[in-house]
Chains A and B, each alone.
Chain A
Amino acid sequence: MALIRGPAWGTTPATHALVVGVSRYPYLSGPGASDFGASFNLGDLTSAARSASEVVAWLLTEFRKPSAPLASIRILLSPAPGEELHPLVQARLAEMAGEPSGATRGVVDNNLTQFDAACREDPDNFAFVYIAGHGVQLTNRTAVVLLEDFADPATRQDLGGAIDVAQCNFGMSGGGGYARHQVWFCDSCRQVPEVARRFETLGGAIGVAKQVGEVDASPLFLATGARELAFAELNGVSLFSRALLQAVRGAAASGPDPTCRDWYVGTNVLNKYLGRRVAELTDVHGVSQSVEVAGKVRESVVQEFAEVPQVDVTLTLAPEDASPTPRIALRRNAREPVDVPEGWPVRIRLPAGKYLLDVQVEPPLVRGFSEILDLGPPDLESVHRAEVG
């Protein structure tokens, strides 16, 4: 089992993660392709396993959730030839050499069972799931991701080599002691209609039987775009995973509220952020990819921050040569003075918050400038122009 033990291994409540990334599909194309696999006209991906490894690296080095610290990551990667994984993850996998870590049906099924059991150890556990690979999204609520041995002629000619992510999410959203808070990410793609229609009639994908009851929150975020675009950055990371990592590194952070006393990334803001950010990233390519959310869409804390996010602020003057040089008074919450470096433009790093900016002028200038600066995520860089006259 490709299991990485976190600092909270053996304790509860804790966070358990399942991360799957499939780029290599030997039965879909190339010399090993089966007739069944070749009929889908799909090939290897370039960045699904790499993207999954980046998510694992974030979990290992940056994830913070004091109420449920990291206990385990079950990591199953099938990189394509030449695909580079995050060095930290590469090193951890090397330490586990000999343990099956490829994302084949048998290995995924086994790890899912173990993950399922770990999540049930304590209802206050937190479950984190990220799955990337060739997928089929038949609606905005369902997604099937193909595993490495999809279309293996030695196995069944259906979805036996696939995982039904929406069904797993649905199954684990029952009661029975499951982690009450979960978050799921499916980083796949929508196939062309002719392919999608074929999958509609196939069965046998890996799933989880639902128990009676309901967890509190188990949103499932689905990247839904044309198939090439979900993995637009060749040899890079998927656009969805890039947006996700930006989000959990602070771009989707919220200030303290009744949900969490610290700055945190919650699924409600994550939902809005991912939708907007992925659209921005794909707009660069002149196409559209959206993010949908399924499952039980309730607020859940994904990441907590020990410190207030810092914002890089630039203050410029217009006109640039205004004379005598206007002076700046910057007060946090209109009360606490902030030391500002001399000269224009001003570059300063400030904790997220609201600041009252006053730019004071002397004759012959008569018009100063005043503005409330609202600094914080998603904009961790902020530029403001003070117009005087």
Chain B
Amino acid sequence: MTQRLPEPQPKPRPHPGASNPDEVLTWGWDNQDDELLEWDPVPPGTLEVRVKTASEFLSSQLRFEVTDGWQRVVATGTSGWTRPIPSGLYSVALLSPDGTRSTQMAEVQPGEPTTVSFTVPAARDPYPDTTSYLLGPPAAASPAHARIVSLAGCEVTAANEAGWVFHPITPMISVPTVTIEVETSRWELSLPLNPQSAGAAGAECIVSLTWPGETGRLRTDFGPERRVARFMAGVRRSRDFALAEPTLDQASELLYWKYEDPPAAALGGLILHRLGVLPQRAPWVENLAGAFPFIPDSQVLLASLLRDDPDAEDRTRGLDILLAATTQRPLYTDGLALAMELLRYWPDDDSAQARAERLAMLAEFSVRADWNAVTLSVDVTPAAYDPAAPA
């Protein structure tokens, strides 16, 4: 647990919202139990929280938050948490495997146990039918109104009217991409494919066509078996960073140290950077950048750490890494944004011309990027991209 909490107060005071003046909060922290508050005695019951997901890791790591009848957060924990708790009404909010919050209500009766169970039904998976892609004939059908224009570093292994499944072509030397035409627009997408996976399911990603309005949009997702990676992407979309941070931290290390899924580890690193806690994770970032040079985002992450190093030599090394990484197409939207920020605000005046050149190169992505997408998605519709270019 990395969260810092206030020191316990010597004289607890009544909460202004508590209609019972005797009910007071005393702030404390038990590192083992993650209990945030204690109450004066009221008839207690027992509350247990269980979490079941298809991922053993996430089942044990996903965090929940318990809020009492006065809307105070009274505890956080992970699956298996069981505590005596004052009788009353509670809500339990879980950071779900898709990165969003699920909430359940509970009434704890005096002297009785109450269990809140979270399971991940198929319906909670935003793409419950994706496994059917794997069973169907390759490219037997394509999404209506859309077609693949070109591929780089990957192949299509399945498709239907809703989208495509992609696998990497190894060895991977750069970020794989696909260019897809949707009606009159054309998009070039970075694909988070995993060349480290021993099995096909752990390598794949999916691009699906959605219709939020009258305009078709493309959405890139990790394959359904890459559950930890999907959790990270879900957190990025939902922005529930506070509850996710401990899980993200451990998930990123897990993905890196086991060499399970380096692209997903890079995404975890980008989120941790956003939270300002990446400096504490410097060793695995250094190794990730060195071991997987085909993910420029990991090198950008390393450069971001070296930028703030008091040693000028390390800052120079960081700038060299940054300049090398920014000759490549980023995998993630946040990787692109971080790279441009570093190029623009590098603390030393070194290589100003080279930084300006890299910025100009990356601006070709940034000016037409879909900033709502987790993976880099760039509008390359010919007419809009360059009026002089042939359609």
Contact = CB atoms under 8 A, between A and B. Distances in A.
A193 B344 CA distance: 19
A260 to B, nearest CB: 10
A224 B371 contact: yes
Interface in B1-39: 3, 5-6, 13, 15-17, 19-20, 25, 27, 29, 36
B274 interface: yes
Given A166-B341, A256-B15, A353 B368 contact: no
A261 B276 contact: no
B67 interface: yes
13 contacts: A140-B371, A142-B337, A142-B344, A193-B368, A201-B356, A214-B276, A256-B71, A258-B29, A293-B239, A332-B19, A336-B20, A351-B19, A353-B71
**9 smallest beta-carbon distances between A and B, as pairs:** A333-B69, A255-B71, A308-B17, A354-B89, A193-B367, A257-B73, A139-B337, A200-B363, A141-B337
B297 interface: no
B72 interface: yes
Contact of A197 (B15, B363, B371): B363
A240 B46 CA distance: 44
A231 B366 CA distance: 23
A354 to B, nearest CB: 4
A354 B90 contact: yes
B89 A356 contact: yes
A155 interface: no
Contacts of A117: none
A140 B341 CA distance: 10
B213 A167 contact: no
A66 B313 CA distance: 45
A333 B70 contact: yes
A139 B343 CA distance: 13
Contact of B25 (A193, A256, A298, A336): A256
Given A142-B344, A271-B241, A354-B69, A372 B89 contact: yes
B340 interface: yes
A296 interface: yes
A200 B360 contact: yes
Nearest to A197: B367
Interface string A204-224: 000000101010010000001
B173 interface: no
A306 B16 contact: yes
A288 B212 CA distance: 10
B310 interface: yes
A108 to B, nearest CB: 19
A299 B276 CA distance: 11
Contacts of A353: 17, 69-71
Chain A interface residue bracket vs B = 35 or more
Nearest to A200: B363
A142 B341 contact: yes
Main secondary structure of the interface of A (DSSP, over half): mixed
Interface string B167-205: 000000000000000000000000000000000000000
A128 interface: no
Interface of A: 138-142, 166-167, 170, 193, 196-197, 200-201, 210, 212, 214, 217, 224, 254-258, 261-263, 268, 271-272, 275, 286, 288, 290, 292-294, 296-299, 306-308, 332-336, 351-356, 372, 374, 376
Contacts of A200: 359-360, 363, 366-367
Nearest to A260: B6
Contact of B72 (A256, A290, A334, A374): A256
A87 B273 CA distance: 42
A346 to B, nearest CB: 19
Interface in B56-87: 67-73, 87
B345 A272 contact: no
Nearest to A167: B345
B371 A351 contact: no
Contacts of A272: 238-240
Contact of A170 (B239, B345, B360, B366): B345
Contacts of A262: 16
Interface string B362-375: 01001111011000
B17 A351 contact: yes
B275 interface: yes
A210 B346 CA distance: 10
B334 interface: yes
A2 B269 CA distance: 43
B107 interface: yes
Contact of B16 (A193, A201, A307): A307
